[in-house]
Amino acid sequence: MNSTRITELFGIKYPIIAGGMVWCSGWRLASAVSNAGGLGLLGAGSMHPETLAEHIDKMNAATDKPWGVNLPLMYPEIEKAVDLIIDKGVKVVFTSAGSPKKFTSRFHEAGIKVVHVVSSSKFAKKCEEAGVDAIVAEGFEAGGHNGREELTTMTLIPQVRKSTVLPLIAAGGIGSGQAIAAAMALGAEGVQIGTLFALSQESSASDAFKQYCTQLPEDGTMLAIKKISPTRLIKNALFTRLKEAEDRGADADELRAILGPKATKRGLFEGDLENGELEIGQIASAIKEIKPVDDIMNDLISSFDETCKRMINM
């Protein structure tokens, strides 16, 4: 696996970034990915500022490799989080779910590299105008919150590549070395992987959730709650209640009431498989074993190299 603009931008060995996933991406997962040669991200979206501060300190103790923080811009304590990230000397921030203009210049003034997640080439152009350092283009195969465009990764990546000169990271449905090779053939220079790392041994998601995901069929997930924010969910009892409500025309307030408080925490972190919000990507159906990060990274790199050799010999 050769160096790319993504490895050079972050100073990492492999162009593989772990998604900063709520209730999954704590310091153990993020540091394991960084120590294995990728870029680990803390998932700030499920952390109060004091919890984020604790995880940043533990990251600094667990690795001397590059790492970053994923910060959704709809985070309820966003100003506190931004101040904390700057004060703690974090070097990389991935932002999403909002305008990339909002904090990019402030992060840059603090020497922080900024990457923004997009779901269309239109938003990719806005990111370039906002001055971000790189873009993640995420197809709707991905777990959790998705763009309303419902563009697949295979469709999205080449169009974003044509629309911007910025370093490009592909995300959504990537869970193998073969998929990494395909993303790079389409114009990506790195990949962001969520589901595969969410189901790793180091992920802070509950063991019940992880094991449940290894039994999913190919059609085990679907986009839901589009009137709130399109979100890929496992088809459990909560999903069924939400879909029935959506089908009869329920509004966003009713859907929120069905979700109830802390629905994602109930599902991913506490392991409530029936009444929790279970966010995971389509690629989960291909994952049948909960492995340590080191094994996952080795599998990705070796299968990528084998795929490239096979393609050269075709």
pLDDT, tens digit (0-9, with 9 covering 90-100), for 64-91: 999 999 999 988 899 999 999 999 999 9
Determine the pLDDT at residue 250: 96
Determine the pLDDT at residue 100: 87
Determine the pLDDT at residue 288: 97
Distance separating alpha carbons of residues 273 and 270, to the nearest angstrom: 9
Asked whether residue 313 carries a pLDDT value surpassing 90, the answer given is: no
Q: Residues 44-82, buried b or exposed e (16+ Cβ, 10 A)?
A: bbbbebeebbebbebbeebbebbbbbbbbbebeebeebb
Asked whether residue 10 carries a pLDDT value surpassing 90, the answer given is: yes
Structure tokens at 63: 């690795």
What confidence tier does 314 reach under pLDDT thresholds 50, 70, 90?
confident
Asked whether residue 12 carries a pLDDT value surpassing 90, the answer given is: yes
Q: Express as a percent the part of the chain with pLDDT over 70.
A: 100
Q: Are 40 and 66 in contact (CB under 8 A)?
A: no
Give the mean pLDDT of 243-264.
95
Determine the pLDDT at residue 264: 95
In angstroms, what CA-CA distances link 109 with 103, 133, 218, 277?
10, 13, 45, 38
Asked whether residue 99 carries a pLDDT value surpassing 90, the answer given is: no
147 vs 165, residue with greater confidence: 165
Determine the pLDDT at residue 265: 96
What is the pTM for the complete model shown?
A: 0.96
pLDDT of 33-68, one tens digit each? 999 999 999 999 999 999 999 999 999 999 999 999
Give the mean pLDDT of 103-116.
97
Give the mean pLDDT of 168-178.
97
Report which DSSP code applies to 268. Answer: I
What confidence tier does 225 reach under pLDDT thresholds 50, 70, 90?
very high
